[in-house]
Structure formats: C-alpha cells, structure tokens
Amino acid sequence: MPGDYQILASIHKQIGIGGFARQMTGHLIDYAQRNNWMGRQIVDLGCGTGESLLWLTKHHYIVTGVDKSTEMLTIARNYLAENNANVSLTQGDLRNVSNISGQDMVLAINVLSELDNIRELERAFMHIHSMLRDERWLVFDMYTIEGLVTRNQAGYNLEHDDDALTIFAANRFDYEKSIQYRDYIIFQKDNNGWQRVEAGRSLRAYPIQALTALVQRSGFNVQHVLNTDLNPHKPGNSTPRVIIFASKK
C-alpha cells in the first residue's frame, strides 16, 4: 500500500490529503439517508487525520477509525481530542482488518486508489463485506483514469512555501498500469538549518465497469455510481472520481 506516511503525515495539511474527506463526508451521509440507508455504527477506513471522524461524531454516529499509519493516527487522536470528540481508533491495514463486525456503513474516502492491484482491492472488499450487517452499505470513492491523467498534468510544481517549510511535487504517470506517482521533495528548517526529505504517494485507477463488476463479485449490490457532484455517472461522461454506494447482499 504505497505512501510514505511516516513523512507525509507531518505535511498533510500543506498537501491537502484530508481535503476531499472534509468536503464530502456530510454530503455522502446525507445522500445515503435520502436513499433509504439507516444506521448509527460507521467504520472509517483509512481515516487519516480524522476529517471524516470529527463530522461523524458531531452528528452522533458511533464511529471507529482505522488507519495503517501510526503517524496519521497520532495526528487524528490529537485533532479529535482538541475538538472533544470521542472516537475509537485502531491501527490496521484495510486489506486484512478482521476484528470489526456488525457495522451499518463502511466509509472509505480517498484511500482505495492507493492499493497496488486488483487482487488487493478484492481482498479489501471481502474484509469490508465481513464488517457489515446484511443490506448495510459500503461507500467509497476511486479516481478515474481521466482523473489521474489530469492530476498528473501538474508536472513539477511548488506545493507550499513559508519561512520554515518548502515542498515541491513531481508527477509521473504509468499509462500501462494507470498509476499516477507524486514525489515530494521537502525542505524543513530546524535548529541545524535546512533538512531535505523525500516521500511519495501513488494512486491507481481502473475502468469503472471493471470496478463495479469487482464490487458485485465481492458480495455487494451496486446501488449508485456517482460523479463528484453526487449526480449519476453515465458512461462517457467526465469525472475525476467516481463515488460508489453498494449494499451487502
């Protein structure tokens, strides 16, 4: 599961890792409720710094956050404590989490595109299936191939610059595998001067039809395939990501 989060966690705000979750969580829950989803218990897979968790707890859901990165969980724990939010946090890999069950929703925002290949994605779906009660929902997003190509067009650019921190990002794209790589070069000032660190993150996309077929093969009924405006996605239409709502069979 790519992503140097022992480094990226410290610059998550500057590179906007939690932005999509912060923007979308409330809208996704609202859409689910307007389409007959009911429940209180929610798992946030790849919870990162806790952007979704805070919204969910403030709206009285019983929430468990799961993330592989201890550094991201530390930031999430502090962020939630500062906002008086009580959340259960668990370190774990979404491809093999096995100690969670009886959930009404599994939410996976801005995380599944980080899995290396289709087999790992299928493993994740199978474990998610075991977490849910019957007919309860998995809600997740994935970059489209178009979305990653567009993301890649940023080329080499300055992501952030202030008196103590400068971040450059270099983008490259593997057209054969539909993987977009973003390599960060980080200059951080401390008492010994400027220190240089490098870190990377990679994202993979799949054809939408293949993705929905995999979800169904993993024991779900696909209920809705949406664009980022939460309108139905139609084949051939443009969208940087798809958002899929699927119920456990």
- The tens-digit pLDDT sequence of the chain (249 residues) is 456 999 999 999 999 999 999 999 999 999 999 999 999 999 999 999 999 999 999 999 999 999 999 999 999 999 999 999 989 999 999 888 888 999 999 999 999 999 989 999 999 999 999 999 999 999 999 999 999 999 999 999 999 999 999 999 999 999 999 999 999 999 999 888 899 999 999 999 999 999 999 999 999 999 999 999 999 999 889 999 999 999 999
Overall size of the chain counted in residues: 249
The pLDDT value given to residue 2: 55
Q: What is the pTM of this model?
A: 0.95
The predicted pLDDT at position 186 comes to 97
DSSP for residue 218 = T
- Residue 113: per-residue pLDDT: 97
Enumerate residues 6+ apart whose C-beta is below 8 A from 21. 48, 51, 52, 109, 110
Q: Both tokens of residue 205?
A: 């996309």
State the residue for tokens 């890999």: 93
Taking CA atoms, 218 is separated from 11, 102, 122, 142, in Å, by 35, 18, 7, 17
d(CA 24, CA 30): 10
Amino acid at 218: S
**Which two three-digit tokens encode residue 80?**
């939630």
Q: Position of tokens 């993987």?
A: 179
List, as one string, the DSSP characters of 68-104.
Answer: S-HHHHHHHHHHHHHTT---EEEE--TTT--S--SEE
pLDDT at 223: 97
> How far is the C-alpha of 174 from the C-alpha of 204, rounded, in Å?
9
